[in-house]
Structure 1
Amino acid sequence: MPIATPTFPVPLVFSDSLPKTYSALTPAIGTEFAPETQVSSLLSSSAPSTSIRDLAILVSQRGVVFFREQDLTTAEQRELVDRLGKETGRPEESGLHVHPLGGTNELGGGGKEEVFKITAEFNGASEDSFNRSTRASNIWHSDISFENYPSDYAILKMNTLPKVGGDTLWASAYTAYDRLSPAMQNFLSTLTATHVGDTFHAPPGGKFKEPRGHPENNGQHLSASHPLIRTNPVTGWRGLYVNKFFTKRINELSVDESDHMLSYLFEHIAQNHDLTVRFRWQPGSLAIWDNRSTLHSATNDYGSATREGDRVVSVGEKPYYDPTSLSREAALRVKQD
C-alpha cells in the first residue's frame, strides 16, 4: 500500500485591510503602529471582516507587532488572540493556553486562567543575582514550546513599569535560519529536539494545570519533541525552532553531539543582534507576536521594582516541517521577481 504524501497548509495572502499607520522597526523583525491606532477597534463590528486575519498575517510576517497607549481590556485581549488563531486556520481543538502554574498566578475574578500575570517575581528579576544566572541570553525562549501543541500567537499588555529598564527583546527565527549555511539547513531539517519545562515546579502536594489549551497538552511531565526546523503555516516560511530556556536535547544525536550543536545554535541566536528588535515598554503598551517564528527575552535589569502586565497565549498546531516551504529570504526574493 503506497504511503500517502502529507499535505500542508497554503500560505495566507495579506489583503491590506489594516490602518496604514505602521512601519518596520528593523529589516528582520518588528513593526510598530502609531499611538492613535487602537487595536480594540479591530474587534468592532464596523471593522473590515478581514482585519483580524490581516493582523495575524502581519504578525506572522514581521514576528512581533507593537502598539502604544492601548485601551484593550483583558477580556478583549483574550478575544483578540483567540481570533488571531481561529482566523488563520488553527486546529479546532486548540484554544487559549492555561499556564501549568495558572492557579498561582491567574488574575482574580471570573476564573480567567488564560490571562497570566507577568510579574518581576515570575521573570526572576527580584531574585538574588548570586543564586541565579545573570546571562540574559539564557532567557531566550518561545512560549510553551514544551507542550505537544505549543503556541501560535501571544499578546502582552504592560500596565505597571519601573522608571528605567524592563525592556523585552524578540529575535527572528526566520532570519536565524537564513543565516545558516545551506548544508547546515539541510542537516537540521532532518532532526527533532525535546523541549522540557523543567523550570516550572508543581506546588507541594499539587499538580500542574491540565489540559492546557489542547487535549494533548496534558499530563504532569512538561515535555514534547518538535522539528528543529519549523514551517509557519501562515507565511509558509522556515524558521529555527530552538530556544535555550526549554530545548534540552536533539533526539537523533548523541548526548555530546547534541550538547555541542545546541550550544552553537544558542550562540548563533544570541550573538546575531541584527536579527533582534528591542522594545521599550510604556504603560499601556501592547505586543503581539508569533511564537512559531520568534524567540523573546525579558531584560531583568530592574531589581525589585514593579513590572506587571497581562499575557494571553493561544495554542496552535502541532509543529511540522514542510520540505517544499521556503526560507523568508527566498520567499521575499520570489515576490520581488
Structure 2
Amino acid sequence: MAKTQHQQGLPKFSGALDKFKYEETTPEIGREYPNVNIVDDLLNAENADEILRDVAITISQRGVVFFRAQNNLTNELQMEFVNRLGRSVGKPESSSVHIFPLAPAHVPEGGTGDRHISYVNSTAFKYMFEKMPNMDKRRFDAAEWHTDIQFEPVPADYTSLRVHKLPESGGDTLWASGYELYNRLSKPYQDFVDGLTVTCRADCVLMAMQRKGEQIEEGERGSPLNVGRSLTAVHPVVRTNPVTGWKSIYSVGQFSKRINEVNQYESDELLKKFYGMIQDNHDLQVRFRWRNPNDIAIWDNRSTFHRATFDYLNLGERAGNRAVGIGEAPYFDPNSKSRAEALGVKKAEETTKMASGGHMAHGHHMATGHHATNGHHASNGHHMVH
C-alpha cells in the first residue's frame, strides 16, 4: 500500500481561475462559483487544459466545488468534464468513467439508459433497496456517510452530480472533509492508523441484486482492474491524495467492513469512531441546497465523504444524473503529511522568510496554494472574492 508518487509541496495553479468570482462555503470544505458556466467558460475555453487542471486542484484542496444552473451541460459533456478533470492531474490512462455494477432490468422513468450515467432519484433508490434486512423506515431519511464505489479496486476520483428535478423543499446533500477528520486525531493516534488497511465490500448492492434478480456487470467498470462479481477490495485506512499529497481518513461508511490488522472488536470500535467524529463535528461538514435545476457538485472521493437527505416525502421528486470518474488504486505514502502539517510547514517557511527581511515574490502561492485575484497575494492565502 505504501507508495511515493504524490507531488512534492503544494500543486501550482496557472492562475486561469483568477478571473472568476467565488466564495468559500465553509472554512474547512466547499467552494461555490456562482457565475461560471462549465461548458462555455471551462470546457470550451482557449486555455481549457490549464483551467481544468486548476479546477481539479481546487476540488482536491477544497473537497467539493459547486456550480449553479448548468443548463447547457449534457450527459455527454458531464462525463467528459469529470474524465478530463482526472486526466488533467495525471490519473492512469487505463482509467475512465465508472459503470455502476448493477445492470437493472428496466430503466426508470427519466433515466438515461447510458451505463456511465447513474440516474439518482428516490424512486430508483427505493426500488433497489427497500425491504432489505435492517432497512427500517428511518434509513430512508438520510443515506449513510460514504465515498463512492469504495468497493472497487480502483475507485472514484472525481464525482459530478447534476440535480435537474427538485422538490419544493429538502433533498440537501452534505459533504465532510477526510483531511480534517485525520487532522483531529492526536499524533499518537495518527501514527497508529497510518498504514492500516480496510476491507471494503458492497453488501447492499449484492443483496439488492439477489432480491431483484438484477445482473452484475462483470466486465471492465472504468478500469481493467474493476471486474468480476465480488465487489470487494482492500484499501488503506489513511489514504494519500495524489493531487495534494495530504493524508485523509478513507475508511468511513457502508462499504468499509473490517480493518484487517486488528481484531473484529477493535475494528468495529475504529470504524464507529471515524463515523462518529463526522457526526459530532459539524464544522468539518458542508450542507448544500440545490436551488436551481441543473445545479452541479463535483467532489474528490479520495478525501471527502457525502450523504443525501431524504426529507422531501410528498414535496415532489428529486432526481439527478451522476458521472463518476475512476482514478488510481488507493495508496498510503508514509512520507505524506496531514493538511494541517503541510500548510503549517509552508506558513512557517514564509514567516521566517518575511521576518528575515525577504519579500514574497509575485506569482508564487501562499500556504493554501490559492491565488489572489489581482495576481498578488492575499494574507490568508485564499483568492480575494470579486
1:329 pairs with 340, 344, 348, which one? Answer: 340
Structure 2: which amino acid aligns with 1:14?
F
Residue equivalent to 1:255: 264
Greater mean alpha carbon deviation, residues 200-209 or residues 291-300: 200-209
| Counterpart in the other structure of 2:122 | 120
Partner of 1:10: 7
Measured after TM superposition, the shift of residue 131 of structure 1 is 2.6
In the other structure, the counterpart of 2:83 is: 82
Name the CA distance, whole Å, in 2 between partners of 1:206 and 1:43: 35
Residue 249 of structure 1 aligns to a residue in which SS?
strand
More moved, 130-139 vs 73-82:
130-139
Q: Give unpaired runs (5+ residues) of structure 2.
A: 349-386
Q: RMSD of the TM alignment (CA)?
A: 2.3
Q: Paired residue for 1:152, among 146, 149, 157? A: 157
Q: CA offset at residue 134 of structure 1?
A: 3.5
- Structure 1: gaps of 5 or more residues: none
The SS at the match of 2:139 is coil
Report the residue type matching 1:66 in the other structure.
F
Q: Contact 2:159–2:323 at 8 Å: present in 1 too?
A: yes
CA displacement, residues 28-65 of structure 1 (integer Å, 9 cap, x when unaligned): 1000012x210112111524430011000000000000
> 1:96 matched to which residue of 2?
97
More moved, 302-311 vs 132-141:
132-141
Residue 141 of structure 1: aligned partner: 146
1:331 is paired with a residue whose SS is helix
Segment of structure 1 superposing worse, 172-181 or 256-265: 256-265
Amino acid at match of 2:318: R
- Calculate the TM-score normalised by the size of structure 1: 0.92
- 1:39 maps to what in 2? 38
> Structure 1's 115 and 130: CA in aligned 2 closer, same or farther, altered over 3 A?
closer
Once residues 15 and 162 of structure 2 are traced to their aligned partners in structure 1, the CA distance between those partners, rounded to angstroms, is: 25
Corresponding pairs, count: 331
User: What is the distance in 1 between the residues matched to 2:342 and 2:97?
Assistant: 30
Match of 2:378 in 1: none
SS at match of 1:49: helix
In structure 2, the CA distance between the partners of 1:168 and 1:123, relative to structure 1 (3 Å rule), is farther
Distance 2:309 2:143 in 1: 11
**1:118-163 CA distances to partner (integer Å, 9 max, x unpaired)?**
0113444995898344386761000000100000001011000110
Distance 1:182 1:135 in 2: 37
Instruction: Confirm whether residue 227 of structure 1 aligns to residue 228 of structure 2.
Output: no
- State the alpha-carbon separation in 1 of the partners of residues 190 and 287 from structure 2: 27
For the residues of structure 2 that align with 1:310 and 1:140, how far apart are their CA atoms? 19
Kept in 2: contact 1:102–1:209 (CA 8 A): no
Do structure 1's residue 240 and structure 2's residue 237 form an aligned pair?
no
- Pair 1:78–1:6, CA change in 2 (3 A): closer
Deviation at 1:219, TM superposition (A): 0.9
Counterpart residue type for residue 146 of structure 1: F
Structure 1 stretch displaced more, 136-145 or 323-332: 136-145
Does 1:204 find its partner at 2:216? Answer: no
Task: In structure 2, give the amino acid aligned to 1:268.
Answer: M
**Would you say the 8 A contact 1:123–1:300 is kept in 2?**
no
Q: What SS does structure 1 have at the residue aligned with 2:215?
A: coil
Structure-2 separation of matches of 1:98 and 1:105: 15
Letter in 1 for 2:25: L
**Percent identity of equivalent pairs:** 44
Secondary structure of 1:326's counterpart equals coil
Aligned to 1:161: 166
8 A contact 2:6–2:241 mirrored in 1: no
Tell me, yes or no, if the aligned pair for 2:165 and 2:317 is still in contact at 8 Å: yes
Partner SS state of residue 193, structure 1: strand
- Judged with a 3 Å threshold, the aligned counterparts in structure 2 of structure 1 residues 206 and 137 are, in CA distance, closer, same or farther, namely closer
SS of 2:181's equivalent in the other structure is helix
> Which AA in structure 1 matches 2:85?
L
